[in-house]
Structure 1
Amino acid sequence: MKTLISFRTIYMLLLVASILFLTISETKGNNIYPGDEAYAIAVEKAPAPIGGLEAIVKKITYPDMAIKTRTEGKVYVLVFINENGEVDDVKVVKGIGAGCDEETIRAVKKTKFSPGVDKGVNVKTKLAIAIQFKIPS
C-alpha cells in the first residue's frame, strides 16, 4: 500500500500550525502597536476632543508642501488618552504625506480631551480619529 502523504510532511504541517497558534495566542490579536495594552478600546463613555473635531481642525495649518503638491485626503490617527484627558501619544495609522501627517499629530497633541469613563472611573483609552485635508479655495 502506497502512502500519499509522508509522515515527515504531516510532522512539518503540525509544527507550522503549532507555531502559528502560539504566535496568535500570545498577541491576542488586539494590539496594533507594542506597549498600548494599558489603553482600553471599548468603554462606557468614549473620550472626545473638547470643542469637537473642529477644535483640532482649527489648530491645523495646511502644510506648504501639501499645497504645492496638491495633496488632499484623510489622515487616520490612533490617539492614546490618559485618565486626565491629556494626549500621551499619537500614531499615524494611514497617512497622506506632504507634511499632513505631522501637522495632524501636532494639532492632536495640543488638544485636550474629555477622558474615557468605564464603570464610573476615568481610564486610559485609545481613540481613532480621521482628519480631512482639502486644499483651501
Structure 2
Amino acid sequence: MRTTKWESGMLDKRTKVGVWEYYGITASKEMVVVQRYDHTAKQLVFYRPSGDLTFNTELAPGQWKRRMVDRPPLFIGGDAALATYTTQLQYPQQAQDRNVQGQVTIGFSVDTEGKATNHRVLRGIGAGCDQEALRVVKTIPDQWVPAQVGGQDIVAEYELTLTFRLAQQ
C-alpha cells in the first residue's frame, strides 16, 4: 500500500494496481477524492466534476463544435499529478532579461484512446516562454481519460495555462 498527500493505492513491483484514489483541495480548503481509477482494468471509476463542462469537441475529422460534455478529458491522478509536469518550467533567460511575466495557454486534443495530440500555443507572451510552455506540456505522458458524451468517448480539446512569474527580490 502506498499513501501520499495526493494519492493512495496498491503497488505490485512499483506498478500501480487496482483502484487508486486521487485527492485534491476544494475552494474551501477541504481535502476530497477527485478521482478513483482502476489501474488494472484501465478504467475511471469515479471523478468529482468541477467547473464548466463545455469543451471544443470533434464531431467529424476537422469539424469542431463547442458543447457540453458528460465527462471532460481528465488526467489520471488529477491536477496534483498534472502539476508534477507543469511545475518543471525553466524560465527562459530572454524573458528574465526583459522582465517578461504572464500566462501561456497551450491547447491540445485528447483522443478517444487518451492520447494528447496537436499541441499548440493558444495565448502566448513571447520571449521564449511560449516555446518553453509547449515543451513542458509535450512531456506530459499520455495518461488521459477521454471526454464522453452520451456514454461515448469523444475527441475534445484541453487547455492548460502555465504561469511565468519572476521571483520578487
1:97 equivalent in alignment to 2:126: yes
User: What are the residue-to-residue correspondences of 1:1-137 with 2, within 5 Å?
Assistant: 36-37=62-63, 42-50=68-76, 51-52=78-79, 53-111=82-140, 112=142, 113-137=144-168
Does the aligned pair in 2 maintain the 1:77–1:91 contact within 8 Å?
Answer: yes
Residues 66 and 41 of structure 1: is their aligned pair in 2 closer, same or farther, counting only changes over 3 Å? farther
Matches of 1:86 and 1:40 in 2, distance apart?
20
1:101, CA displacement in angstroms?
A: 0.7
Matches of 2:135 and 2:62 in 1, distance apart?
20
The amino acid that maps onto 1:47 is: P
- The structure that is helix-richer by fraction is 1
Matches of 1:41 and 1:56 in 2, distance apart?
28
Partner of 2:19: none
Between 1:54-63 and 1:74-83, the stretch displaced more is 54-63
- The structure that is strand-richer by fraction is 2
Q: Tell me how large the CA RMSD over aligned residues is.
A: 2.6
The amino acid that maps onto 2:69 is: V
Deviations 1:13-48 (A, max 9, x none): xxxxxxxxxxxxxxxxx89xxx74268753211113
Matches of 1:39 and 1:61 in 2, distance apart?
34
Q: What are structure 2's unaligned runs of at least 5 residues?
A: 1-55
1:94, CA displacement in angstroms?
A: 1.5
- Aligned residues with identical type, % of pairs: 26
* Structure with more contact order per residue of length (Cα contacts < 8 Å, sep ≥ 6): 1
Question: What is the DSSP-based 3-state SS (H/G/I as helix, E as strand, rest coil) of the residue aligned with 1:127?
Answer: strand
Residues 36 and 126 of structure 1: is their aligned pair in 2 closer, same or farther, counting only changes over 3 Å? farther
Residues 86 and 136 of structure 1: is their aligned pair in 2 closer, same or farther, counting only changes over 3 Å? farther
Matches of 1:39 and 1:110 in 2, distance apart?
27
The amino acid that maps onto 1:133 is: F
